[in-house]
Structure 1
Amino acid sequence: MAAISLPYSHVDCNLRALAGQAEGFGRFAIGGLHGALYHVTTLSDDGPGSLRAGCRKKEPLWIVFELSGSIELSSHLSVSSYKTIDGRGQRVKLTGKGLRLKECEHVIICNLEFEGGRGHDVDAIQIKPNSKHVWIDRCSLKDYADGLIDITRESTDITISRCHFSNHDKTMLIGGDASNCGDRCMCVTIHHCFFDGTRQRHPRVRFAKVHLYNNYTSNWGIYAVCASVESQIYSQCNIYEAGHKKVAFKYLTEKAADQEDASTGCIISEDDLFIDGTQSGLSKPTASSNMFHPSQYYQTWTVIRATNELKHILQHCTGWQDVPRPPGP
């Protein structure tokens, strides 16, 4: 176990040092490492110098912002492959609609705010279908009509780190429907995040393998983490602090479209900290011998003991950060 610190602080030493530095399943995401620098020079929804214009370009790009403020999206903003959307050095908020990662790969989203998305099926970040090698880091997300981050339809190799989730109901969904049996391929890492009084789905999982570590989930409204059909959730050194609802882990039974019988998922809890009367709600997995371990997929990750000191760090060092844009072309 490492000393108390947030991981990969070295990624801010120069602009493109961020690429390939995620931990966990999204560790290969390079974003726009080999592309030109694209400067967002307007807060307009579209047009020259806009974020949307940069994201639609097919070539790799490292996107940075030359101004702070809110971008009101009139429709989902589609992000194409090999893009880094790097909010360091400014304070940029996306509102109205959200980002959509559709059939793309190698995308990094860093240091943005998402707030106030409205309309049917509007997520802050929607990852579907068949997207892979995605890293979402240091984002603040709140108050959207549907999910904050939804990962479905065979999207995989994704890491979500150091994000702050607040003022929301259905926070994070991994695996959208029991009929989508192809979602068995999905692998997601969530670490050093703060789920701050959000109601449910931290995350809710179908089919996927999910590694949770060093997250702080507090004062949920229904449950903290939910395992449904065939999901495998490895919860390691997280902090669960209940409010009115005391049970952290929930199991839901659903029938996969290609199976005769309904099933639930598995949750393994290793060195998690349950405080303020929290009950784990763990049930003995019926297929624990088939449960994955993160070391089968990656050899190292920055995990420390779940302590009050870690809780304090996650309360203050997650979400959008007032950090300068690192130097570099």
Structure 2
Amino acid sequence: MMQPYGDADSNLRSIAGRAEGFGRLAIGGLHGGLYFVTSLSDDGPGSLREGCRRKEPLWIVFEVSGTINLSSYLSVSSHKTIDGRGQRIKLTGKGLRLKECDNIIVCNLEFEGGRGHDVDGIQIKPNSRNIWIDRCSLRDYDDGLIDITRQSTDITISRCYFAQHDKTMLIGADPTHVGDRCIRVTIHHCFFDGTRQRHPRVRFGKVHLYNNYTRNWGIYAVCASVESQIYSQCNIYEAGDKKKTFEFYTEKAADKEEQKSGFITSEGDMFLNGAQPLCLPIESKGESMFHPSEYYPTWTMEAATHSLREVAQFCTGWQSICRPDGQ
């Protein structure tokens, strides 16, 4: 098996700058001091919120395990690594907000039970970039699990587990937000386990999907809407009752006259249990499609096989691993 990031846990900070794909420049709090979360309180000394609001670069680690009940969105400032390795931290109530920030790494956390209008597990907007979300488990929020909108870009989502949810991942929220043409996201080695739709749903942006496992969706697996370009490479799509893998929604960009959907290239994907493979909408034929190699030279990918399907079920989401050595 070809597993990405084989030695990324060899030292505490060795994950910095190691993301594959569009988020590859994310270094998080590499050049900052260590911040120890010693309290599960929502705020105050030793809390996660206190570390995230500080303006200087920080590498945030946890000395405690347990649930942090957030009464409001937890805003993360630039140059932060939130590193849950070595403990088991669950965020509930609300989620993380990555607003106008740069260089964020979020690793090995659980998100569950976010309540309230427009409450996402991880909300990335506006104008945020160089972000890596790795090995997180996300389920049961009132809105999205991860939403990437309003000109946020250069983001990688890897080895995450998604379950018990409807609108899983939205990339580009509105056809009037034409600035979202800048959005670029890589999603790889993730497991979408019975979530209903949006794995992801995309407007405008360029999205590279590889070696993900999506099963038993409730409406569709992946949706391309206005002007989006989705490169689906060596993923496994296993249908439940609903067989439509790819959906195309037409919408009108605010600065265009005609409605358009997005388009999808499927290369090396595996379709199981009657999952219907790609059917391009007529208006997308002949239009240009980006290729990931235009933006980054290498990525760790293997053929879509049943062994990859098995690995995806236990190598995604929060992991019981030690915190690596290092300062």
TM-score by length of 1: 0.98
Deviation at 1:5, TM superposition (A): 3.0
Identity, % of aligned positions: 72
Aligned to 2:307: 309
Gaps of 5+ in 1: none
Residue matched to 2:116: 119
Alpha-carbon offset, residue 283 of structure 1: 1.5
Q: Distance in 2 between matches of 1:266 and 1:288?
A: 10
1:265 aligns with 2:262: yes
Contact 1:26 1:189 in 2 (8 A): yes
Distance 1:91 1:164 in 2: 15
Output one character per residue of 1:135-165: Cα deviation in whole Å (capped at 9) or x when no partner.
0000000000000000000000000000000
Q: Which one of 216, 221, 226 corresponds to residue 224 of structure 1?
A: 221
Structure 2 segments unaligned to the other structure (5+ residues): none
In terms of mean alpha carbon deviation, does 280-289 or 26-35 score higher?
280-289
Name the structure 2 match of 1:280. 277
Aligned to 1:147: 144
Residues 266 and 288 in structure 1, CA contact (< 8 A), matched pair in contact too: no
1:184 is paired with a residue whose SS is: helix
Counterpart in the other structure of 2:35: 38
Residue 325 (structure 1) aligned to one of 315, 323, 326: 323
Given the alignment of the two structures, is residue 237 of structure 1 paired with residue 231 of structure 2, yes or no? no
Residue type matched to 1:315 in 2?
Answer: Q
- Contact 2:172–2:180, Cα closer than 8 Å, also in 1: yes
Structure 1 residues 113 and 184: alpha-carbon distance in aligned structure 2, compared to 1, 3 A threshold: same
TM-score normalised over the length of structure 2: 0.99
* Alpha-carbon offset, residue 6 of structure 1: 2.0
RMSD over aligned CA atoms reads 0.8
| C-alpha contact (below 8 Å) 1:116/1:142 kept by paired residues | yes
Looking at structure 1, the residues matched to 288 and 275 of structure 2 have their Cα atoms a distance apart, in angstroms, of 28
Structure 2 equivalent of residue 53 of structure 1:
50
Distance in 2 between residues matched to 1:289 and 1:27, nearest whole Å: 28
| Cα distance in 2 between the residues matched to 1:72 and 1:288 | 50
CA deviation after TM superposition for structure 1 residue 281, in Å: 4.1
Superposed CA offset, 1:266-295 (max 9, x none): 100000000111112421562544110000
Q: Does 1:295 align with 2:293?
A: yes
Alignment partner of 1:131 is 2:128: yes
Quick one: distance in 2 between partners of 1:24 and 1:289? 23
Query: d(CA) in 1 for partners of 2:262 and 2:212?
Result: 20
Task: Name the SS for the 1:70 alignment partner.
Answer: strand
Contact 1:79 1:101 in 2 (8 A): yes
Corresponding residue SS for 1:311? helix
Q: Distance in 1 between matches of 2:316 and 2:279?
A: 28
Instruction: Find the aligned partners of 1:93 and 1:284 in 2 and give their Cα distance.
Output: 41
Cα contact 2:248–2:281 (8 A) shared by 1: no
Report the secondary structure of 2:13's partner residue.
Answer: helix
Shift of 1:90: 0.1
| 1:17 aligned counterpart, secondary structure | coil
1:218-264 Cα shifts (integer Å, max 9, x gaps): 00000000000000000000000000000100000000000000000
Q: After TM superposition, what 4+ stretches of structure 1 lie above 4 angstroms from structure 2?
A: none
For 1:157 and 1:246, locate their aligned partners in 2 and report how far apart those are by CA, in whole Å. 31
Q: Which residue of 2 aligns with 1:213?
A: 210
Residue 288 and residue 23 in structure 1: after superposition, are their counterparts in 2 closer, same or farther (change >3 A)? farther
